[in-house]
Amino acid sequence: MYRIADRNGKIKEQNSAQDRLLEWLYGHCVGRLLLRPLISPAVSKLGGKILSSRPSSLLIRPFVRASGMDLSDYEQGPFDSYNDFFQRKALPGARPVDMEPEHFVSPCDGKVSVSKLDEKSVFQIKHTRYTAERLLRNRKLAKAYAGGYLWVFRLSVEDYHRYIYIDRGVESESVRIPGVFHTVNPVANDVFPVYKENTREYSLLRTENFGTVLQMEVGALLVGKIENHRQGRVFRRGQEKGAFAFGGSTILLMTQKGRVYPDQDLLEYSRRGIEVSVRQGEAVGRANQVLFFRTN
């Protein structure tokens, strides 16, 4: 069981049948044995083929009914496969992007938590300790974010699985780190260091207002496939960066020391171990005002 808050301060406890199943799989020795083949890239690839096939479209209606999803914000299809539905686009205007230059926006729908990176680039998610060096497999790059913030945007299956650029800027070549496909549900993070074991991909975004932001997409259990568009090195705020195929997934952002400050509610809830539900394009932080006005 874990807690999620909205931006109005309402907190709800999450304990679905799926959560209870994952808790058993990750928390019980028999469950972990059954889990081992499920997290392999081969099973993920096979699942992707199945869910991209035409017969998989029959799964759409039962899934929508079981999850109680509101589809009024989305294109209505028809969809050729379950993955086609999973990657459905929002209707124009359904995900407005805050265009105030100093406002740091969420790249996606999801549940966000924020962690401070200490001077050795160490941080903690729930009860699990991480280092940026192990996450990135790059000591020099990890040092560049010491003293900054790590933003974890966790997407579950009912979320919108397309994501955007958070500002105007220039993007580096992406780096892919192969791995397995654990679920990103919080119950898994208490047992395995999922963010440094899962398949992931990152690039550096040299932004106009927030310094160099590192964005990492993390795949997850059963086809958390990362599909970055790579439409060119120059990008603009609100432009679509990519999408995930079926599976819960996560986007991590790293911001440099003194460049961006998270909104106070995010800091307070994160300190209490509570995720905050946000939508793509909404403000979740602010640029350092001194640096912002000096460079603008």
Tokens of residue 130, six digits: 């991480």
Give the residue carrying structure tokens 């019980």: 28
Give the residue carrying structure tokens 């999973």: 86
Residue 159 annotated in active site: no
User: Cβ(23)–Cβ(187) under 8 Å?
Assistant: yes
Measured CA to CA, the distance from residue 182 to residue 120 in angstroms comes to 27
User: Cβ(143)–Cβ(254) under 8 Å?
Assistant: no
Measured CA to CA, the distance from residue 142 to residue 137 in angstroms comes to 8
Catalytic residue among 56, 81, 109, 203: 109
Tokens of residue 255, six digits: 């911001």
Measured CA to CA, the distance from residue 268 to residue 265 in angstroms comes to 5
Sign of CA pseudo-dihedral 250, 251, 254, 260: negative
Measured CA to CA, the distance from residue 52 to residue 141 in angstroms comes to 36
Residue 67 annotated in active site: no
Catalytic residue among 156, 249, 263, 270: 249
User: Cβ(153)–Cβ(106) under 8 Å?
Assistant: yes
Active-site annotation, residues: 109, 249
